[in-house]
Amino acid sequence: MNILDIGTDIIEVERIKNALSKRGDFLKKIFTQREIEMFEEKGNNPQTIAGNFAAKEAISKSLGLGIRGYNFKDIEVLRNSLGKPIVKTYNNLEQICIQYSVLEIKVSISHSENYAVANAITITM
pLDDT, tens digit (0-9, with 9 covering 90-100), for 47-71: 999 999 999 999 999 999 888 889 9
Which range marks the domain in which residue 92 is found?
A: 2-124
Decide: 12 and 114 in contact? Cβ < 8 Å: yes
57 is in an annotated binding site: yes
- Classified as helix, coil or strand, 1 is coil
pLDDT band of 33, cuts 50, 70, 90 = very high
Q: Convert the pLDDT of each residue in 62-119 to its tens digit.
A: 999 888 889 999 999 999 999 999 999 999 999 999 999 999 999 999 999 999 999 9
User: Do the beta carbons of residue 9 and residue 117 sit within 8 Å?
Assistant: yes
**Tally of domains in the chain:** 1
58: domain CATH number is 3.90.470.20
For the chain, where are the alpha helices, taking DSSP H only?
13-22, 26-30, 33-41, 46-62, 91-99
Largest CA distance in the chain: 44
Distance in Å from the first CA to the final CA of the chain: 5
Nearest to 30 by CA among 19, 21, 14, 46: 19
Residue 16: name the closest of 119, 98, 113, 125 by CA.
Answer: 113
pLDDT at residue 23 tops 90: no
pLDDT on residue 38? 98
Residue 103 has a CB neighbour count (10 Å cut-off) of: 13
pLDDT at 1 over 80: yes
- 74 has binding-site annotation: no
Residue 5's pLDDT is 96
The whole-model pTM stands at: 0.95
